[in-house]
């Protein structure tokens, strides 16, 4: 009977069957970020709310999955949330970040780090990423440079295919067939021909 009355009140209030969401403002506790929390199976931190209430094991993601993982800085202001029917909080909004990772199951790639450390894309030891094509230069780009080498080799094959050995000519006929091939030198590939200097990567 009591439940029926409670349900009736919720229906009148428009909250019957709705999913109640709770939002809490807080600050990430110093040194609390744990990227390998085996207790709940995902990266966490602890948060102190505006009323000095402590919220331990706050997940950094709604679920541990493929995608982006944002790591908050110590002291970062955050908004955490949860379904009222659940005890599991997760961070919804951040004010400051230390790093951003790209996850693929158990493989992590650091794509940004506040201090430039351990980030594949803030390091420069490997240079810039390769560019396949260059819309502003048909002779640049990995594809164009490979095609030049392939064309050069094919020209040499054509010269041999068209060559008919002549007795005692000392190779003059072959030299004549290959004259167009050896008469044009390959141009040395420059770094700028194949590198996108705006996106660098490397290792520490």
Both 9 and 87 in a single domain? Answer: yes
Q: In this structure, is residue 102 part of a structural domain?
A: yes
pLDDT of residue 129: 85
Both 146 and 65 in a single domain? Answer: no
Going residue by residue through the chain, which has 204 residues, state the pLDDT in tens, using 9 for 90 and above: 556 776 676 666 666 666 677 889 999 999 999 988 767 678 899 999 988 899 999 999 887 667 888 999 999 999 999 866 677 899 999 999 998 888 876 777 777 888 766 666 666 777 888 999 999 999 999 999 999 999 999 999 998 888 888 888 878 888 888 888 888 888 899 999 999 887 777 665
Both 96 and 148 in a single domain? Answer: no
Domain ranges, residue 105: 2-113
Which of 113, 140, 174 delimits the end of a domain?
Answer: 113
Both 59 and 99 in a single domain? Answer: yes
Per the structure, how many domains does the chain have?
A: 2
pLDDT of residue 6: 67
Both 98 and 171 in a single domain? Answer: no
Do residues 73 and 79 make contact, with C-beta atoms less than 8 angstroms apart?
Answer: no
Both 53 and 103 in a single domain? Answer: yes
Query: What is the Cα–Cα distance from 97 to 112, expressed in whole angstroms?
Result: 10
> What are 39's two structure tokens?
């207790």
pLDDT of residue 114: 82
pTM: 0.55
pLDDT of residue 185: 87
> What are 22's two structure tokens?
């709770």
Both 16 and 108 in a single domain? Answer: yes
pLDDT of residue 49: 92
Q: In this structure, is residue 166 part of a structural domain?
A: yes
Both 62 and 134 in a single domain? Answer: no
**3-class DSSP string for 64-112:** CCCEEEEEECCCCEEEEEEECCCCCCEEEEECCEEEEEEEECCEEEEEE
Both 105 and 148 in a single domain? Answer: no
Which of 80, 113, 146 delimits the end of a domain?
Answer: 113
Both 10 and 89 in a single domain? Answer: yes
Do residues 26 and 52 make contact, with C-beta atoms less than 8 angstroms apart?
Answer: no
């Amino acid at each position: 009977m009591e439940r029926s009355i409670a349900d009736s009140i919720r229906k009148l209030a428009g909250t019957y069957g709705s999913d109640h969401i709770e939002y809490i403002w807080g600050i990430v506790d110093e040194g609390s970020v744990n990227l390998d929390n085996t207790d709940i199976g995902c990266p966490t931190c602890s948060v102190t709310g505006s009323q000095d209430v402590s919220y331990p094991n706050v997940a950094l993601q709604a679920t541990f999955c493929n995608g982006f993982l944002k790591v908050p800085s110590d002291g970062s202001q955050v908004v955490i949330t949860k379904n009222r029917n659940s005890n599991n909080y997760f961070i919804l909004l951040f004010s400051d970040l230390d790093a951003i990772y790209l996850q693929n199951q158990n493989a992590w790639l650091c794509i940004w780090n506040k201090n430039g450390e351990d980030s594949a894309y803030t390091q420069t030891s490997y240079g810039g990423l390769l560019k396949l094509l260059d819309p502003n230069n048909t002779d640049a780009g990995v594809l164009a440079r490979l095609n030049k080498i392939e064309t050069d080799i094919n020209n040499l094959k054509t010269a041999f295919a068209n060559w008919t050995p002549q007795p005692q000519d000392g190779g003059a006929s072959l030299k004549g067939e290959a004259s167009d091939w050896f008469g044009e030198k390959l141009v040395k590939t420059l770094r700028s021909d194949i590198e996108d200097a705006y996106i660098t990567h490397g290792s520490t």
